[in-house]
Structure 1
Amino acid sequence: MSHRTRIARSALATLSGATALSLVLAGCSDSGSSDGDGPAGGDLVIGVTSDPDTLFPWKATQFQAVNVLENIYGSLTELDSDMTVVPGLAEEWETSDDGLTLTFFLRDGVTFQDGSALDSADVVFSLESIKDEATAAVAASSLAAVESVEAPDEHTVELHLASPDASLPANLASVNMSILSSDDTEEELNGQPNGTGPFTFDDRVSSQSITLVRNEEFWGYPAGLGSVEFRVIPDESAIVSALQSGNVQMAVFDDPLVAQTAESGDVTVDPTAQLSYHALMLNATRGDLADVNVRLAVQCAIDRQQVLDTAALGEGEVTGPITSPAYRSDPQARPCPERDLDQAAEYLADSGRSDVTIDAIVSQGEYATSVNEAQNIQAQLAEAGITLELEVLESGAYVDRWVAGDFDAAVALNGGNPDPNGMYGRYFTSDGNLNAVAGYSSPELDELFAEGRSVEDPEERREIYRQISAHLEENAAWIWMFTSYSYTAMTSSVQGFTAMPNGSLRFLRTTALTS
């Protein structure tokens, strides 16, 4: 006997954040249009501040790249607007009683942009390639429990696990887990993406625009838009002007002040609370930061609410490590929940260091509040006798340094996930493929993350991730700051778009333009 998740397209299951634990259960995919009447047409222009730094989905971490690629490629599972796991390229799946085998049943008639048919060989190729260390896929650790991938027939895929993994269905929904054609290579796809999503790649003008067109062969309802152009406009004030003049019909801002200026005339702005989190990432393998007392001094010297107020007009919440709604960390359960310069001084004294200098990288262009955050943190640390040297980099250069773990500290905005293992399993485990970025791991964390994957009971999982959060805070692995909002600005002609708590633009597939 096995537990089977069967989905009918006509059924619609919704879960609140409080019940988002049941991620292995799926409701209907809301990946089609709202009425199923077919395309409405229209060519949408979205203003973005940076050109995507890659078109290869397994390596995409930059927000702009993710937003483009999630509309071109497909994954076995998807997340609906309530962050519930729903079918993607797999129309159903089942889990064996012992939790050690997940069997996915693929949709019939799915094709790639080049016309080739999706089959189980493509899924086996994709998942095995993501697992392969040589690929350097950023989500490889999401498959840590997977021992082998097999294809009993062309529409069935079996994942055999070393231990149960309750987080796997949610983790498979990431664009970093996209299913690619077994005939394609990274080099080819960086020039000509070849996906199964609601849009297909049409054209790219370097540093200016990327244009997608409706995929007439998409397995779901055809997209309502004829095309989507992501137009690069580096200055957000210029994007606001383009919106108000009608040259751009949509943009997503993270700076509330910019969002306020955009809302006028024909432009409305809708805020959406985000699972993403702002943090000062500390590399515990480098210099003075190798001493936990120095890291704790940094933690105690920062007033997180002041950073939030300065950078984002107070629109958000101070946060701990885990932002997944059902597992959310208590920001008061940390050393120095409020700024404490006396305690910071004690930690510095315990470290034996009187002169601490930390080099920090900062992105300019990937998100708007980064430099303001960095400068406020710098000023606060100076009051504690800690020097933060800032190196402001354009988005692509920042991502390159970040992925390589080539920094002492990084002012960062990281994406959240409805499952906490998806947030941190690849960072804070000793064999995590982004552990060089995290700069911290421990045997205790390795054991806790393994437990968190294997346990399905919601209460047990909550306690495990509470312990993980406490360990991260007590060792000041990073300094978690706040969660904030995204602000979706649209002209009145844009209809049917749904913003998501993970910042995804996947509901461009349900969007249309009215005249």
Structure 2
Amino acid sequence: MIRTARPFAPLSLAATAAASLVLVTACSSGAGNGTGTGAEARTEPGKPGGTAVFAMTSDPDTLMPWKATQFQAVNVLGNVYGTLTEYDKDLKTVPGLAEKWEPSADGKTLTLTLRKGVKFTDGSDFDSADVKFSLDAIRDEKTAAVARSALTNVTEVTATDPSTVTLTLSAPDAALPSGLASVNLAMLPSEASDAAVMSALESTPNGTGPFTFDSRTPSQSVKLKRNDAYWGDKALLDALEFRVMPDENAIVTALKSGNVQLATINDPLVARTAEGGDLTTTKTPQLSYHTLQLKASSTTQPALADLNVRLAIACAVDRQQVLDTAAYGEGEVTGPITAPAYKSDPDARPCPKRDVAKAKEYLAKAGGGALVLKTIVSQGEYATSVNEAQNLKSQLAEAGITLDLEVLDIAAFVKRWVAGDFEAAVALNGGRPDPDTMYGRYFTSKGNLQKVAGYSSPELDALFAEGKATSDEGKRKEIYAKVSRELEDDAAWVWLFTGNSYTVASSKVAGFVPMSNGSLQSLRTTTIQ
């Protein structure tokens, strides 16, 4: 897995053929030949000051970090809130609000030493009471925090002194330090234990990040300001605006006119139209993965509980065809785990290649008959969703399986998805550097997103527990290879492909470094001339 940004390369030969009609339009609008990147990308920051406008296709659906699953919300909140640990540009876990952490000899406690002098936006001091409140609240099922499963092994949080927190664990947890880097485990002030304060945070964030919340105009923009009290190196921009522009072609037009300085584009063809002139386009392979989620526990489609049915669906899909059709070949077919150190072998599945005859055999074993899956699809969060769904519908129809597609705006999709209110879903889910934090919340029987996954097993529970309990990297790789094989053999979902993000920036922008987990954390080092 390539984890660093690289220049935008030409589309593959197959992709070019599949997209030829569209490319006529792209080239006539001034697009280059696909080999250039326009202005030279500037990774070294320039003179501080000014306001940068970052365009995104959807309005954040929440400003509460513990509830955020939508990519746009996560990206905004990651610049406002702080976490106990962070990731560096290579996705290694490094200190955040905790300047160090130390496990006990038996792995049953983790002692965090907090930074001193850290303040929230409202001027209040950050200390161990805030950590205890935040972690206890996230652990509480009533909070419905989307990353609660990252704290499964935490049995007690003790504020030992103002700058020390001790986590008592039921078992050693090698994944915990990495898990604490997620904005879904952001630190909130302990005053939010009051319901009125917590309610206010849903519209006016109060964090410890490099930027502070300024204002929001729903469906138009979220504006941030530099946090001059930030504990680390201060952001170089005076202000940052996330501007909502649902159409990626319109975003490119705004970039060319100078009304927008920076954007992440999902559609490879649209990214091509941004080549040349004053703009730089950088392609970054992503850890996030495209998948057809199957709800094995569905009450409205009990056939999905039958392994033969799920295997039929998995065998009827040509993943490369989905990639070529929806993303013009820009990406790679994937298995469940995309984390570089634990990456799944996409050929280690019951049907490495599409096998319609085998799919029909599996359906016959399940009793035959028509199979109709009500399938939700998002529109607006990423560009390829509807094309993926339509291609999957066409392929599965050849095996006698019907996808009844319901296209939803992103807010409605997320609501249905989090509630597990679907039989199948065409989804783009975030990948993580550690496979436990990536999948433990989905595929364990006590995972807080288990109703989204719709599948668990005693074997997976045991494997995830084993993976947490050892810090030996070699052993962990073996364990998560078994996790991957279990998920594929039982066709829990149909994993499709990983794609690329395309960062388009004005030549006035410097210091922004795209990351393979989609983080926009380098906005703190970004400048605009």
TM-score (norm. length: structure 1): 0.92
Per the alignment, residue 227 of structure 2 pairs with 215
- 1:23-62 matches, within 5 Å, as 40-62=48-70
Find the partner of 2:289 among 248, 265, 277.
Answer: 277
Per the alignment, residue 95 of structure 2 pairs with 87
- 1:475-494 matches, within 5 Å, as 475-494=490-509
- 1:371-386 matches, within 5 Å, as 371-386=386-401
> Are 1:17 and 1:326, in contact at CA under 8 Å, matched by a contact in 2?
no
> Are 1:77 and 1:88, in contact at CA under 8 Å, matched by a contact in 2?
yes
Per the alignment, residue 367 of structure 2 pairs with 352
> Are 1:143 and 1:168, in contact at CA under 8 Å, matched by a contact in 2?
yes
Query: How far off is 1:35 after superposition?
Result: 9.0
Structure-1 separation of matches of 2:245 and 2:147: 30
Q: 1:368 to 1:35 in 2, by over 3 A?
A: closer
> Are 1:112 and 1:181, in contact at CA under 8 Å, matched by a contact in 2?
yes
Per the alignment, residue 312 of structure 1 pairs with 327
> Are 2:3 and 2:515, in contact at CA under 8 Å, matched by a contact in 1?
no
2:344 maps to amino acid: S
Find the partner of 1:249 among 238, 258, 261.
Answer: 261
Partner SS for 1:354: coil
Query: How far off is 1:429 after superposition?
Result: 0.4
> Are 2:3 and 2:516, in contact at CA under 8 Å, matched by a contact in 1?
no
Query: How far off is 1:112 after superposition?
Result: 0.2
Deviations 1:81-108 (A, max 9, x none): 0000011001111111111111111111
- 1:61-140 matches, within 5 Å, as 61-140=69-148
Structure-1 separation of matches of 2:111 and 2:91: 22
Per the alignment, residue 409 of structure 1 pairs with 424
Query: How far off is 1:264 after superposition?
Result: 2.7
State the Cα RMSD in Å: 1.5
1:243 maps to amino acid: L
1:99 maps to amino acid: G
The answer to whether residue 195 in structure 2 is matched with residue 187 in structure 1 is: no
The answer to whether residue 409 in structure 2 is matched with residue 397 in structure 1 is: no
Structure-2 separation of matches of 1:104 and 1:407: 40
> Are 2:283 and 2:501, in contact at CA under 8 Å, matched by a contact in 1?
yes
Find the partner of 1:165 among 166, 173, 180.
Answer: 173
The answer to whether residue 303 in structure 2 is matched with residue 295 in structure 1 is: no
Query: How far off is 1:340 after superposition?
Result: 0.2
Partner SS for 1:98: coil
> Are 1:36 and 1:221, in contact at CA under 8 Å, matched by a contact in 2?
no
Query: How far off is 1:353 after superposition?
Result: 2.4
Query: How far off is 1:36 after superposition?
Result: 10
- 1:221-236 matches, within 5 Å, as 221-236=233-248
The answer to whether residue 156 in structure 2 is matched with residue 143 in structure 1 is: no
1:83 maps to amino acid: L
Structure-2 separation of matches of 1:35 and 1:228: 19
Partner SS for 2:393: helix
Partner SS for 2:202: helix
Q: 1:35 to 1:385 in 2, by over 3 A?
A: closer
1:124 maps to amino acid: K
Q: Return structure 1 stretches of 4+ with deviation > 2 angstroms.
A: 34-37
Query: How far off is 1:167 after superposition?
Result: 0.4
State how many pairs are aligned. Answer: 484
> Are 1:360 and 1:391, in contact at CA under 8 Å, matched by a contact in 2?
yes
> Are 1:56 and 1:186, in contact at CA under 8 Å, matched by a contact in 2?
no
Query: How far off is 1:57 after superposition?
Result: 0.2
Per the alignment, residue 335 of structure 1 pairs with 350
2:49 maps to amino acid: G
Per the alignment, residue 9 of structure 2 pairs with none
Find the partner of 2:341 among 326, 340, 346.
Answer: 326
Structure-1 separation of matches of 2:107 and 2:287: 28
Structure-2 separation of matches of 1:498 and 1:245: 23
Deviations 1:413-463 (A, max 9, x none): 000011000110000001100000000001111111111100111111111
Partner SS for 1:45: strand
> Are 2:50 and 2:528, in contact at CA under 8 Å, matched by a contact in 1?
yes
Deviations 1:278-298 (A, max 9, x none): 000000012121111111000
Runs of at least 5 residues in structure 2 that lack an aligned partner in the other structure: 5-42
Structure-2 separation of matches of 1:261 and 1:91: 44
2:296 maps to amino acid: A
> Are 2:291 and 2:427, in contact at CA under 8 Å, matched by a contact in 1?
yes
The answer to whether residue 441 in structure 2 is matched with residue 426 in structure 1 is: yes
Structure-2 separation of matches of 1:447 and 1:72: 37
Of stretches 282-291 and 171-180 in structure 1, the one that deviates more from structure 2 is: 282-291
Per the alignment, residue 510 of structure 2 pairs with 495
Structure-2 separation of matches of 1:159 and 1:142: 13
The answer to whether residue 496 in structure 2 is matched with residue 464 in structure 1 is: no
1:67 maps to amino acid: N
1:157 maps to amino acid: V
Deviations 1:250-291 (A, max 9, x none): 110111111111223111110011111000000001212111
Partner SS for 1:197: coil
2:129 maps to amino acid: A
Structure-2 separation of matches of 1:36 and 1:98: 44
Q: Structure 1 vs Structure 2: percent identity of aligned residues?
A: 63
Query: How far off is 1:186 after superposition?
Result: 3.4
Question: Highest relative contact order (Cα 8 Å, sep 6+), 1 or 2?
Answer: 2
1:150 maps to amino acid: T
> Are 2:291 and 2:428, in contact at CA under 8 Å, matched by a contact in 1?
yes
Partner SS for 1:275: strand
